[in-house]
Amino acid sequence: MSFFKDVAIAGVAESELGNVPHMNSVDLMAQASVRALQEAGLKKEDVDGLFSSSAHYSMPTVTLAEYMGITPKYMDATSIGGASFVSHVAHAAQAIVSGMCEVALIAYGSTQRTDGGGLANITESNPFEDPFGYNDPITAYSLAAQRHMFEFGTTRDQLSEVAVATRKWASMNEKAFKRDLITHDDVKNSTLISTPLTKLDCCLVSDGGAALVLTTRERAEKLNTKPTYIWGYGESTTHRSISNMPSLVHTAAIESGKSAYQMAGVGPEDIQVAELYDAFSINVILFLEDLGFCKKGEGGRFISNGNIAPGGKLPVNTNGGGLSYCHPGMYGLFTIIEAVRQLRGESGERQVDNCNLALAHGNGGVLSSEVTMVLSNETKS
């Protein structure tokens, strides 16, 4: 599985984020795309591989190609929810190495906030869940949180600590939507939606887009940015609907993480910064366990020692995450963007010292699909 050695990330960018009522989803995709290409020193004419997924468009790569005037040689619109874009980067790597394309553009955009705040979703009904008044997706994550509390004694305060620590990171990111510090009581006392989760346990509802340019290692090394290399990758899924999750406290991150570490030849102890898709506070606890940063059941205790906050042993979600930075519905690509910036040393006030090895983890559906990527600013020996 050495093909990742021959590719590198050459550009990353966000579109305007937050509240962007004057643009549509594809506008945000295109704006982020141009910015990512510009950063790399490439033009849209260089792009011959196009990757996207969307809750707004049924044929997102086709929509984006038309909009930007790109005629790609290769397209992939794999849809595994918010995790899709991390998988696109890996799929693009395979396409590049096999000669199907040379410059891959992975783009995302969503006006979820402007569209009214609900989770944008191409309608998919479930006769075995819809009749019971289940708030999709919040109640699904609530069911997992409740079970985690039952099995391992995870506490309300430990869930709150995820939101509190993430907000500390967001306070150092000028692009973050919410930057004012919050307390454990703020989280606990915010509007209770579906027990045990409150409003501040839930990700933001924002507008936003993101893009990433992947090309051959050879080409990337001649471009404007410091290349970021992919050391390892893994993906898996355990279920689509929460009723069918085999264990509510074990996610497919166990599988995706194992594959990624194995390919990278590293373990969780080597990771210096982790960007974990935090759709809800419980996600971070589950992923810390499933990705081996602590034992199963100890996620709550792990974070309560300040381990994931600024100055902690394992900086997590250093951009402020989906909880405080941005969450337009499918956050996956933003995990890689922040990992790349940390590895380049571009993260300013929130920069993690001597950061050479980062982990980006995407989640899709209701803890359904999990994808893990290990990234570095050094080539893999």
Partner 1 sequence: MAYNKPLPNTKGVSEIYWKGLKEKKFLIPHCNECNEMFFYPRVVCPHCGGTNIEFQDHNGKGEIYSYSIVEKSFIQGFEKEVPYTVALVQLEGGKARMMTNIIECEPEKVEIGMPVEIHFQDVTDEIALPHFKPMKGGR
Rounded CA separation 18/289 (Å) = 31
Indicate the residue among 244 and 262 with the shorter CB distance to partner 1. 244
* Count of helices and strands (H, E) across the chain: 11, 11
C-beta of residue 17 within 8 angstroms of C-beta of residue 178: no
Shortest distance (Å) from residue 119 CB to partner 1: 9
Instruction: Give the burial class of 370: count Cβ atoms within 10 A of its Cβ; 0-12 exposed, 13-18 middle, 19 or more buried.
Output: buried
* Short-list 242, 239, 243, 262, CA closest to 252: 239
C-beta of residue 317 within 8 angstroms of C-beta of residue 275: yes
Contacts with partner 1 in 175-204 (CB under 8 A)? 191-197
Shortest distance (Å) from residue 83 CB to partner 1: 22
Shortest distance (Å) from residue 246 CB to partner 1: 9
Shortest distance (Å) from residue 148 CB to partner 1: 9
Give the number of C-alpha atoms closer than 13 A to the C-alpha of residue 47, restricted to the C-beta side. Answer: 33
* Short-list 256, 289, 311, CA closest to 158: 289
The mark string for 245-264 relative to partner 1 (x by CB under 8 A, - otherwise) is ---x----------------
Shortest distance (Å) from residue 195 CB to partner 1: 4
Rounded CA separation 11/110 (Å) = 20
Indicate the residue among 46 and 129 with the shorter CB distance to partner 1. 129
Q: Figure out which of the listed residues 12, 89, 176, 242 binds partner 1, where binding follows CB under 8 A.
A: 242
Q: Figure out which of the listed residues 99, 116, 131, 311 binds partner 1, where binding follows CB under 8 A.
A: 131
* Short-list 186, 193, 190, CA closest to 140: 193
Query: CA dihedral defined by 76, 257, 36, 30, rounded to 10 degrees?
Result: 40
Query: Count of residues binding partner 1 (CB under 8 A)?
Result: 29
Which residues neighbour 2 within 8 Å (Cβ) at sequence distance 6 or greater? none
Residue 120, by phi and psi: left (phi above 0), alpha (psi -120 to 50) or beta?
beta
Indicate the residue among 85 and 280 with the shorter CB distance to partner 1. 280
Judged by CB under 8 A, does residue 129 bind partner 1?
A: yes
Shortest distance (Å) from residue 327 CB to partner 1: 17
Judged by CB under 8 A, does residue 123 bind partner 1?
A: no
How many angstroms separate the first and last alpha carbons of the chain?
A: 14
Indicate the residue among 153 and 348 with the shorter CB distance to partner 1. 153
Q: Figure out which of the listed residues 58, 135, 224, 379 binds partner 1, where binding follows CB under 8 A.
A: 135
* Short-list 171, 179, 369, 147, CA closest to 277: 369
CB environment 280-302: b (16+ within 10 A), e (fewer): bbbbbbbbbbbbbbbeeeebbbb
Shortest distance (Å) from residue 267 CB to partner 1: 31
Contacts with partner 1 in 146-165 (CB under 8 A)? 146-147, 150
Contacts with partner 1 in 18-57 (CB under 8 A)? none
Shortest distance (Å) from residue 332 CB to partner 1: 24
Judged by CB under 8 A, does residue 118 bind partner 1?
A: yes
Indicate the residue among 123 and 381 with the shorter CB distance to partner 1. 123
Shortest distance (Å) from residue 21 CB to partner 1: 22
- Judged by the rule CB under 8 A, the positions of this chain that interact with partner 1 are 118, 125, 127-135, 139, 142-144, 146-147, 150, 191-197, 242-244, 248
